[in-house]
Amino acid sequence: MNASTPLFENAQKHLVGGVNSPVRAFKSVGGTPLFVSKAKGAYLYGPDNQRYIDYIGSWGPMILGHANEQVLQAVREAIELGLSYGAPSEKETELAIAVKTLMPSIEKLRLCSSGTEATMSAIRLARGFTGRDVILKFEGCYHGHSDSLLVKAGSGALTLGVPTSPGVPAELAQFTYTLPYNDVAALHQVFSEAGDRIAAVILEPITGNMNMIKPLDGYLEAMRTLCTEHGTLLIYDEVMTGFRVAAGGAQSLQGITPDLTCLGKVIGGGMPVGAFGGRADVMAQLAPEGPVYQAGTLSGNPVAMAAGLETLKGLSAEGFFDKLQNKTDVLTAGLKTAAHEAGVPLCTEMAGGMFGFFFSDAERVTSFEQATACDAPAFNRFFHSMLDQGVYLAPSHYEAGFISAAHTQADLDQTLSAARVAFKAARA
């Protein structure tokens, strides 16, 4: 019994599973989810005001830390001017310019209210632009919960989609092909068999939804070439990595120019914002310029624009990502050492303010298959020991972690000393 227990019990009577997004329910790790009463800087506070060092950051957006003073001030000022207009306002253009400046592959964009909307709309646009129905995605990549993207593969290079979730019609799922991530041979095979039917390839250019996995050398270059050769659009889902692994997103680290990019999380600084954009000729197909429909009552919401703009301003400061990456380095190196001292096999990944760690004796994890073979029970024991010691990690071994500008050396030291205890607990 902890302070969250009665709140969770009550929530379960009224909300499905007691939560409004499944992973929050702690199903994977067991136990009672932490109910948050407030957040500030690097910390979340429980119902009894107990403090936790937070490595989820609302699943990515809070790169400046929670309740950042500049963001709050911008939001306060915006609120005074009205909560929603349902009509254009200048702040939307300002946010568009800020995004385009950081991500030059985006020539024009559309703002929406979530990452799910961004990817769903980008897929519709790609289908409309190419006149093709098939899309290609990768096992273990998550792109939100629209029907076409909630499809997981069987094995093999060209497998017809099998719905992951009941409720996704098989007739629709058959248009979603799924391949293993980082398998270049499978990519070549599917393009040789069906390239002229594929409207778009969508991927997380660095994955954060099967823990953190980076593309192997040459993989994305091959993908870019195949897409160009076959008239297929390459869609980078940077909802997680955008303004998180670097100011210009994963595409700036990889030197790849996607046709379309999907954004969310950081772009709203904690408010509900998504966006998709890219090639002007493709975006011109979108209503009202073109025939592909997409809309939103709250799209471009002025309060969300204010939070997003201030967040992008904060992370554009000179040296911001060097400092952030340095913290992530200290954390991942420290976790590795602590695991090694406890005799627990562990490998890590990191980029900018994003990290992953695998309970695996592999030198590197580069596939969904390897990710699923990790020691989940050991992770769960580690997770609970960390939580008991006031460190809040993502409650699943399939999730990446996030660090913010507000995390201090003292926070990292406290985290690593908790980890030394937790790795011993994980061994049990």
Site residues (vs ligand PLP, CB under 6 A): 59, 114-116, 119, 142-144, 204, 208-209, 237, 239-240, 264
Supply the minimum distance, in Å, between the C-beta of residue 21 and ligand PLP.
Answer: 7
Per-position b or e across 39-54, b if 16+ CB within 10 A of its CB: bebbbbbbeeeeebbb
Q: Which one-letter DSSP state was computed for residue 147?
A: G
Cβ-based nearer residue to ligand PLP, 135 or 240: 240
The candidate with the shortest Cα–Cα distance to 299, out of 21, 59, 87, 106, is 87
Of 142, 181, 392, 398, catalytic: 142
Query: Terminal CA-to-CA distance of the chain, rounded, Å?
Result: 23
Supply the minimum distance, in Å, between the C-beta of residue 291 and ligand PLP.
Answer: 25
Cβ-based nearer residue to ligand PLP, 115 or 128: 115
Supply the minimum distance, in Å, between the C-beta of residue 208 and ligand PLP.
Answer: 6
293 is catalytic: no
Peptide bond preceding 345 in cis form (omega within 30 of 0)? no
Of 237, 259, 375, 411, catalytic: 237
Cβ-based nearer residue to ligand PLP, 138 or 423: 138
Helix (H) or strand (E) holding 196: none
142 is catalytic: yes
Task: Report yes or no: 251 and 205 within 8 Å, Cβ to Cβ.
Answer: yes
Instruction: Look up tokens 């760690």; give the residue.
Output: 357
Supply the minimum distance, in Å, between the C-beta of residue 58 and ligand PLP.
Answer: 10
3-class secondary structure for 1-53? CCCCHHHHHHHHHHCHHHCCCHHHHCCCCCCCCCCCCEEEECEEECCCCCEEE
3-class secondary structure for 63-81? CCCECCHHHHHHHHHHHHC
Cβ-based nearer residue to ligand PLP, 119 or 232: 119
237 is catalytic: yes
- Output the residue with the shortest Cβ distance to ligand PLP: 115
Of 91, 137, 152, 265, catalytic: 265
Supply the minimum distance, in Å, between the C-beta of residue 23 and ligand PLP.
Answer: 9
Which residues are catalytically annotated? 142, 237, 265
